[in-house]
Structure 1
Amino acid sequence: MKPTKHTISVLVNDQPGVLQRVSGLFGRRGFNIESITVGESEEKGLSRMVIVTTGDDKTMEQVEKQLYKIIDVIKVVDLSANPMVARELALIKVHAEPSARPEIVSIVETFRASVVDIGPSSMIVQVVGDSEKIDAMVEVLRPYRIKELSRTGATAMVRGAVK
């Protein structure tokens, strides 16, 4: 089976050490976590982790079984098995002398991004979208000399009706 990208939602008790146990499981099994986001969920006392990783279906089935063995894991869903909405946020600090700013602002507008800070020789751009959009924006801004880049990693939900 060919490895594919999987986006997994893991609902967990909001307790110290849960993130370490979940990420440790991936590490022990030799899986790379491409991104992981964690935050509060719709239910008080529970957090949602959204993990992006690569593996074949059989491997992901094993990961799911192992996750359920962690006491604080409540529910595991492979979101990529369904139509989903996934978004990421990036902050990109780019070298921007005043003469280059109009060009950069034009790029920002094209990507429906926004300038969130302007310094004497730099600008910070915020962009939200799928990973491909973020990648494209980074590539277009690269010639202006990216000084710093911070990405959140994907967060996602299944589209459609509430279950």
Structure 2
Amino acid sequence: MHSRLTHLIQSAVAACLLATAPAWADSYKGPTPPAVYTQECGSCHFAFPPHLLPNASWQRVMHGLDKHYGSDASLDAATQKQIDTWLQTYGGQGKRAREEPPQDRITRSAWFERKHREVSAATFKRASIKSPANCTACHQDAVQGDFEDDRVRIPK
């Protein structure tokens, strides 16, 4: 009887853990980015968590800052090296970084497109959102790495 009760309790605990597993999938509690990353990259756009791209993509992004998606985002050599080292250390980890997306764009990756397949192009073009790359428009806690579906708020 005791072993059966133990088995039932273990099964219940396992079921609870499995039920909450999807909630973990869209949260990223990685390392705190260095201030230089947040300052430099976050001055123009959301400073994306490094796990969203594979290392090869981050390397191309960092070595093409003079033509960074249509803008010159050049940095001095020391700053570029510091950010590049951090991205190479913490990037490319997890399921989101299994493939290099077209043009090294996070918003063109298979996982991004799958997670946002129900969001229309018109929604992304709203003045309150502006583009698919503006994560913080809908994911209020994106800066903390929280992209949970149940906390998405799409602005009008």
Q: TM-score, normalised by structure 2?
A: 0.27
Q: TM-score, normalised by structure 1?
A: 0.27
Where is the helix percentage greater, Structure 1 or Structure 2? Answer: 2
Where is the strand percentage greater, Structure 1 or Structure 2? Answer: 1
